[in-house]
Amino acid sequence: MKMKKRMCWAALALAAGLLAGCGAQPVQEDTEEEAQEETTPEPPAAEDENANLMAALVEANNAKKLWEEYGSFQIETHTTVGDETFYMNTYVEEGLNLTRYFEEDQEAQPGEALAYLYTPEGDVYVFMGEDGPEFALPLYAMADDSAYRIAPEVITMAEPDGTLQETVTATAPLSGGKLEIRTERDGEIRDYTVDGEKLVIFSSEEAIPQEDGATLLADSAVSYGVERPALLEELLQFAQDAQSGEDLRTVTVIVDPGQDGETVYSKQVRQGVSVITVPGENYTLCRQTEDGMVPLSGTDPADYTHDVTVYAIAQSEE
C-alpha cells in the first residue's frame, strides 16, 4: 500500500502542518498579568487534531450531503475472505438505496440473493429462481427492522448518532490534490483516498495487520453523479405494481400467538407476488396443522395466489 511506505513520517503530518509557525513569543517581565496575555497558548495535542480530522471525514461523507451535491453516488466493493472474493455494489440517491451482490460476469445459484432495494415506503428483494431472477417483497415480523433495512448515513464507520468508530493514525499527501488518511478500529486498518480539501472519499482499502504484514480485507471505490441502474427503475415499478390492483392477497405473521405479547404483522400484495417473511431473532416461522405447529421451509404456496397465515414462535433458550 502507498500509505505503508510513508508511515515513518506521516503519523503527525496533519497536526504538524496546521501548527507550523506557532512557536512561543518572548515574554515581557513588567507584570504577571502582561506575561499571561503575551504567552502563546499550548498547541492542541496531536490526538485532538486527528479526532477533529476523523469527525470532519464523517461529516463530509454524510449520505445526505453527497446526494444533495452530486445527485447520486455508488460504492463498489470487493471483499476477500480466505480464498473467496465477494462483491457488493451500492447505488444511493435521496430515499433510494440499491445493493447488488454479483458482478455481470458472475453466475448465481438458485436461492442466492442478487440485489436489495431500500425505499422509505418499502423494500424489494431480488433472488435467483430456478428460471432466472425473481422479485419479492419482504415482511419484517418484528418491532424494530432497522438491522435488516439498509440505509447508511455515512460511508465511513460511524454510529447513527455520529459516534466515531475509527481513529486517525496517519496522513499522507498524494498527487492531484488528494490526501491519504489511515484509520484504525479494533485492530483493523483502513486507508482512505480523499479530496484534500473537501475530504470526500474516492476509495478505501481495509486490512488487518498480521505478523507477515497487512492482509487486505476489502477494496472499495466511490463514484459520484452516477446514472441510475436499469434494475432500479424495474424494481421501483415492480414495488408500485405489486401492491396495487383488485386481485390482492394477504400474508399475515402472528408473533407469540396466544400470549400476552401477541402481535400481528401483515402485507397485502397482488396475486402472484412473492412475499419473504423475516421473523425476529430467535424466532421460528411455523404453520398450523392438525398435529400442532410445524416449522416452515417456506412461507407461501408455490403459486403465490392464496391468503397465508404463519406463526413466529420463540425458540427455547435451552
Q: Look-up: residue for cell 433495512?
A: 149
- What distances in angstroms separate CA 311 from CA 100, 127, 137, 201, 252, one per listed residue? 31, 24, 18, 45, 8
Question: Which position has the higher pLDDT, 39 or 242?
Answer: 242
* For residues 191-220, average pLDDT: 82
Quickly state the pLDDT bin for 7 (edges 50, 70, 90): very low
Mean pLDDT lowest for which of 155-159, 253-257, 264-268, 288-292? 155-159
Backbone dihedral angles phi then psi of residue 291, each to the nearest 5 degrees: -95, 10
Question: Which position has the higher pLDDT, 114 or 148?
Answer: 114
Pairing of strands 73-81, 178-185: unpaired
* For residues 213-240, average pLDDT: 88
Residues composing the chain: 318
DSSP for 172-227 reads: EE-GGGEEEEEEEETTEEEEEEEETTT--EEEEEEEEEETTEEEEEEEEEEEESPP
Please check the confidence at residue 314 and state whether its pLDDT lies above 80.
yes
Quickly state the pLDDT bin for 122 (edges 50, 70, 90): confident
CA atoms within 13 A on the CB side of 27: 14
* For residues 60-81, average pLDDT: 89
Q: Are 43 and 19 in contact (CB under 8 A)?
A: yes
Q: What confidence score (pLDDT) does residue 208 get?
A: 66
Q: What confidence score (pLDDT) does residue 245 get?
A: 86
Out of 41-45, 84-88, 97-101, give the one with best mean pLDDT: 97-101
Please check the confidence at residue 45 and state whether its pLDDT lies above 70.
no
Q: Are 156 and 293 in contact (CB under 8 A)?
A: no
Backbone dihedral angles phi then psi of residue 84, each to the nearest 5 degrees: -105, 145
Out of 130-134, 181-185, 198-202, give the one with best mean pLDDT: 198-202
Quickly state the pLDDT bin for 69 (edges 50, 70, 90): very high
Quickly state the pLDDT bin for 110 (edges 50, 70, 90): confident
Q: What Rg do the C-alpha atoms of the chain give, in angstroms?
A: 26
Q: What confidence score (pLDDT) does residue 246 get?
A: 87
- What distances in angstroms separate CA 253 from CA 87, 116, 147, 309, one per listed residue? 33, 22, 19, 6
Q: Are 277 and 139 in contact (CB under 8 A)?
A: yes
Quickly state the pLDDT bin for 117 (edges 50, 70, 90): very high
In the chain, which residue ranges form alpha helices assigned H by DSSP? 2-5, 7-10, 13-19, 32-38, 46-60, 63-70, 230-242
Pairing of strands 188-195, 178-185: antiparallel
Please check the confidence at residue 14 and state whether its pLDDT lies above 70.
no
Q: Look-up: residue for cell 440499491?
A: 98
Give burial (CB, 10 Å; 0-12/13-18/19+) of 124: buried
Question: Which position has the higher pLDDT, 31 or 25?
Answer: 31
Q: Are 151 and 97 in contact (CB under 8 A)?
A: yes
Backbone dihedral angles phi then psi of residue 294, each to the nearest 5 degrees: -120, 130
Q: What confidence score (pLDDT) does residue 144 get?
A: 81
Please check the confidence at residue 263 and state whether its pLDDT lies above 80.
yes
* For residues 99-122, average pLDDT: 88
Q: Are 194 and 96 in contact (CB under 8 A)?
A: no
In 23-163, which residue ranges form alpha helices assigned H by DSSP? 32-38, 46-60, 63-70
